[in-house]
């Protein structure tokens, strides 16, 4: 079999716990990377409850469900967003893909890997939770970004994601993003708490990719179904995510091996 010569890499965005801003971060990171000149595909990989289209006010007539069902090719489901990046929509309002078979999932992942020949980054917004599908996609990614807040339940679930990523033989580096932090230093302290637990019980401490500060403009952008970097480009969260893009831009930071 001929090896795929990848141009870019697969970046999985996970959280374990819902409600920590994972989808918002996946969308805004994709936009930030695209603004830097990267070719970016955002895949709504929440197979149980897709919502990228809802946050962006989209009404796609084709989605990953049609690809899984064999009715359309993956290119036919990809749509272009005005923000300069492409989107592979999930099936919003339906849990039908939550029971996708293992072979069908592997086929989707193989097609995503093939797409890295033409995209600098394929960002996968994984579903909340720790089911087998989420674990498989996380382990398949070249880079795993685990989103956490300072809430104890979020830290516990983030730790579980990191533990399972190691147990599953994840191919890429796992990094932490602290979201909704009161200050940058508070985010660093939250990361330190999680890193200490990982070092003590897993024998490794994932590095901090970045902290995104709490920002009321985020809620406004989501409510208006617009991109934060366009509507509120100079707010704390926008500034932080622009910095975060430095870490995930392959042209700045080499891919993990």
pLDDT for 96 equals 59
State residue 255's pLDDT score: 42
List Cβ neighbours of 227 (8 Å cut-off, separation of 6 or more): 27, 28, 31, 56, 83, 221
Q: Which backbone phi and psi does 47 adopt, to 5 degrees?
A: -75, -15
Look at residue 47 in the predicted model and tell me its pLDDT: 80
Residue owning tokens 């890499």? 9
Beta-carbon count within 10 A of 239 CB: 15
Helix axis angle, 152-167 to 184-202, nearest 10°: 40
The reported pLDDT for the residue numbered 253 is 45
Domain ranges of the chain: 9-248
Asked whether 77 and 64 are in contact (CB, 8 A), the reply is yes
Q: How far lies 105's CA from each of 18, 155, 166, in Å? A: 22, 28, 20
At 31-71, the pLDDT tens digits run 999 999 999 999 999 887 788 999 999 999 999 989 988 89
The beta strand positions in the chain, using DSSP E, are 9-14, 40-45, 79-80, 86-88, 121-126, 143-148, 173-181, 208-213
Tokens of 210: 């970045």
Residue 139: closest CA among 117, 119, 111, 109 = 109
Identify the CA nearest to 37 among candidates 255, 249, 254. 249
Strands annotated E in 76-222:
79-80, 86-88, 121-126, 143-148, 173-181, 208-213
pTM attached to this predicted model: 0.93
Give the pLDDT confidence score for residue 93 in this predicted structure. Answer: 59
pLDDT at 38: 96
Intervals of the chain under pLDDT 70: 1-6, 92-96, 251-257
User: Span 9-248: which CATH code?
Assistant: 3.40.50.300
Q: 239: Cβ–Cβ under 8 A, 6 or more apart, which residues?
A: none
Give the residue among 34, 25, 49 at the shortest CA–CA distance from 81: 34
Which burial class, exposed, middle or buried, applies to 218 when counting CB atoms under 10 A from its CB (0-12, 13-18, 19+)? buried
């Amino acid at each position: 079999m001929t090896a795929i010569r990848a141009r870019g890499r697969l970046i999985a965005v996970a959280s374990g716990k819902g409600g920590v801003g994972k989808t918002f971060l996946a969308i805004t990171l994709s936009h930030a990377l695209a603004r830097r000149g990267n070719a970016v595909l955002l895949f709504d990989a929440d197979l149980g409850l897709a919502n990228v289209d809802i946050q962006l006010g989209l009404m796609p007539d084709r989605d990953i469900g049609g690809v899984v069902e064999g009715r359309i090719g993956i290119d036919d489901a990809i749509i272009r967003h005005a923000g300069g990046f492409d989107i592979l929509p999930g099936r919003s309002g339906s849990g039908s893909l939550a029971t996708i078979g293992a072979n069908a999932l592997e086929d989707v992942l193989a097609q995503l890997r093939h797409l890295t020949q033409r995209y600098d980054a394929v960002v996968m917004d994984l579903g909340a939770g720790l089911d087998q599908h989420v674990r498989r996609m996380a382990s398949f990614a070249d880079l795993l970004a685990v989103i956490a807040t300072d809430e104890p339940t979020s830290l516990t679930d983030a730790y579980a994601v990191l533990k399972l990523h190691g147990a599953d033989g994840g191919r890429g580096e796992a990094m932490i993003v602290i979201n909704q932090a009161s200050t940058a230093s508070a985010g660093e302290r939250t990361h330190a708490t999680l890193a200490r637990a990982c070092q003590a019980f897993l024998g490794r401490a994932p590095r901090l990719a970045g902290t995104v500060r709490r920002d009321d403009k985020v809620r406004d952008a989501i409510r208006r179904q617009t991109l934060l970097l366009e509507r509120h480009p100079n707010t704390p969260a926008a500034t932080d995510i622009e910095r975060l893009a430095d870490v995930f831009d392959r042209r700045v930071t080499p891919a993990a091996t």
